[in-house]
Amino acid sequence: MSPPLAPRPKRLAHAPVALRDGRWWWVSGPGSVPVADPTFTSTLNGFAQAMAAADQAAADLHARQNGAAASGAKGRR
């Protein structure tokens, strides 16, 4: 059996950074460099949390709309 794969880094949408093992990295074609500035990493953390909250809100809205469409279709001919 093959060894388990390491978790993939989480890329931040529309940004050249990724969160890998709890640390932010600049990502480019030739390679990656760790982000060392604590103020910048704090800002990245806040942005990532806001993006996750927005993604969750969009998923909740989509589920609610699908549920309303399914219940509205019942009884129609």
Q: Classify each residue of 43-68 as buried b or exposed e, where b means 16 or more C-beta atoms within 10 Å of its C-beta.
A: ebeeebeeeeeeeeeeeeeeeeeeee
- Whether 60 has a pLDDT exceeding 90, the answer reads yes
Global confidence as pTM:
0.66
Q: Taking Cα atoms as reference points, which of 7, 10, 1 lies closest to residue 47? A: 10
The distance in angstroms from the start CA to the end CA of the chain is: 54
The per-residue pLDDT for range 12-24, each reduced to its tens digit, is 878 899 999 999 9
